[in-house]
Structure 1
Amino acid sequence: MSAPGRRGEGHPATRVAAMKPLLLTAALLTCTALLPPTATAEAASATEGASVNMVDIAVSPAGFTAPDRLTAGVVTFRVSSTDPDGAWLGLVRPRPGVTLEQYLGDLERAMGADPVGGGQAVARDVEMLGGVAVAHVPASATLPVAPGSYYLVDFRDVGKPDLASRVRPVRVAPGRASTDVRAESTVVALDGRYLTPGVLRGPVRFVNLSPQANEAMLMPVRPGATLTDLDAFFAHRAPAPFTGGPTGVVPLSQGRSAVLAHGLPAGRYALVTWVTDVRTGKMFAAGGMRALVTVED
């Protein structure tokens, strides 16, 4: 590959590059303004006070254990997994009158034969607060949690006959926690695309402003992989360009955010979602919701 030629400060490409941080800042301010009032109110009430709650969860092929009680505020779920399939651990809050059996039935439809109807039902069933996906590297997700009744679900367990027994109920009591959650990079999910810097440094804040629940997964790619390779894979025309499993933020409802911290090696990664658009039944990634980014230490 030839080195790019040098450009003077007046070159249009140079001016565009200089504007990118300003454009990203403006977009993030817009994100805050667009958050639903319930989400912003919960985030504000859940993030006043002293400290972040830390929850350590170890996942094995047999399942996972987790506290059945937490204090409201900012909660960090630190997850590691010895399961070869990794773990996709998420926190959900059932809506009034929704039973666990109803939600799990709809979740299996959404992740199986009926992604549109099942996905729409899941959106009616629960509020998705997000969580963390891990492969071979531990990671954590930090998110605001209001008082109430919740379930912790490993989405990798969907389809197993003992799914209900693997889910962990969690009661969150009123409390106070810190707003000081550091993030050095920000990724925003919009409708059908990501707004992301080309380089992700340190903890990454994921903000979901797409029209439904969505996620952000980082997957290492082989050297030289391109967006064309990603598109060919999601169109079922080419082998996977990935060299490892996903690490990232599992689906969270529109208007919510979470901060991902990880120990991923520096390198080139695909930023993807495996979520289906419940309007069309097509995966967002197959419609172009993907990016290539560099992760730095």
Structure 2
Amino acid sequence: MRKLLTTAIAVTAFLTGSPALAEPGGLDLTVTPAGFTAPSAVRAGALTLAVRSEDPAGAWVGLVRLRPGVALETYARHLKQAMSDDPADAMAGGRAVTADAEMFGGVAVGAVPAAAEIAVSPGDYHLVDFRDVAEPDFVSRIRPLRIGPGTSPKATNATAAIIATDNGFLAPRSLTSGAPVFVLNASGQFTEAMLLPVRPGTALADLDAFFARTGPSPFTGRPTGVVPLSPWRSAILTTALPPGEYALVTWVRDLRTGEPLALRGARALVRVA
């Protein structure tokens, strides 16, 4: 009950515009098959990370902060393990990544650009394209980012919310294309929130069958959304998706069982208008 109350307070604060974030300069990144370049420093506050992809495979760019004493190479090795197709290996890697770094989110993009507004404080961070994890030069593609002192807070303008909980997503049945959406991880582990277009007539049972590997893929395009957030981290997603039916899902596995979180209810159907 206390956790649900805390979630409700956090969502209400964002949707009513209470001061929560500061205003820094943004980062506009263009990702190619060779990776991306980025400034080495910005000021603290609400970092706006805007991403577009010239890579046909898309891009999943996120902001992470390594914990004291963790080497970048160690984190990269564990991240690759966490994205393994083997459930036991992925579970062990996910636990290691949790110990290695704090995850602040970011954006996954395909054909449609997107931006995420992320609350940050001063310190040393890294920008990571999670889709590059299998590349032999993965570590060299990760970009360091120093965040310095910021400015005074401002109110957010998000008008809808997606909440990841231990029992799945709390999400509206419809979203407005181009309107900012507050995304909060209120679960006990890191997770993400991805929107993928689906075939007309797709039902929740079709999503369940896909994640259980008993049915075909219902998806008709690449994901757009918020990449992994640590518990109680949030981001404000803005993207002009084409109108239609979308699945809201996560590809992250349960770090206790190795099962896809989608099989525990972390999936929904959303109409974008």
The CA RMSD over aligned residues, in Å, is: 2.0
Q: Residue 221 of structure 1: which of 194, 198, 202 is its match?
A: 198
Contact 1:183 1:203 in 2 (8 A): yes
Residue 78 of structure 2 aligns with which residue? 106
Deviations 1:147-189 (A, max 9, x none): 0000100000001110011000011111125432211110100
Whichever residue aligns with residue 102 of structure 2, its letter is E
Whichever residue aligns with residue 280 of structure 1, its letter is T
Q: Residue 164 of structure 1: which of 110, 125, 139 is its match?
A: 139
Secondary structure of 1:229's match? Answer: helix
Q: Residue 253 of structure 1: which of 226, 230, 244 is its match?
A: 230
Separation in 1 of the partners of 2:19 and 2:91? Answer: 34
Label 1:27 to 1:268 Cα distance change in 2 as closer, same or farther (>3 A): farther
Whichever residue aligns with residue 186 of structure 2, its letter is L
Residue 39 of structure 2 aligns with which residue? 67
Contact 2:24 2:43 in 1 (8 A): no
Deviation at 1:269, TM superposition (A): 0.5
Greater Rg by CA: 1
Superposed, 1:185-204 pairs within 5 Å as 185-201=160-176, 202-204=179-181
Separation in 2 of the partners of 1:135 and 1:27? Answer: 34
Residue 140 of structure 1 aligns with which residue? 115
Separation in 2 of the partners of 1:123 and 1:175? Answer: 27
Contact 1:205 1:258 in 2 (8 A): yes
The unaligned stretches of length 5 or more in structure 2 are 12-17
Deviation at 1:102, TM superposition (A): 0.8
Separation in 2 of the partners of 1:28 and 1:64? Answer: 39
Label 1:177 to 1:156 Cα distance change in 2 as closer, same or farther (>3 A): farther
After the TM superposition, which segments of 4 or more aligned residues of structure 1 sit over 6 Å from their partners?
A: none
Deviation at 1:33, TM superposition (A): 5.2
Q: TM-score, normalised by structure 2?
A: 0.91
Separation in 2 of the partners of 1:181 and 1:103? Answer: 32
The unaligned stretches of length 5 or more in structure 1 are 1-25, 36-43
Residue 27 of structure 2 aligns with which residue? 55
Q: Residue 100 of structure 2: which of 125, 144, 150 is its match?
A: 125
Size of the aligned set, in residue pairs, is: 261
Label 1:109 to 1:31 Cα distance change in 2 as closer, same or farther (>3 A): same
Separation in 2 of the partners of 1:118 and 1:55? Answer: 29
Whichever residue aligns with residue 167 of structure 2, its letter is G
Secondary structure of 1:76's match? Answer: strand
Whichever residue aligns with residue 193 of structure 1, its letter is G
Residue 288 of structure 1 aligns with which residue? 265
Percent identity over the alignment?
54
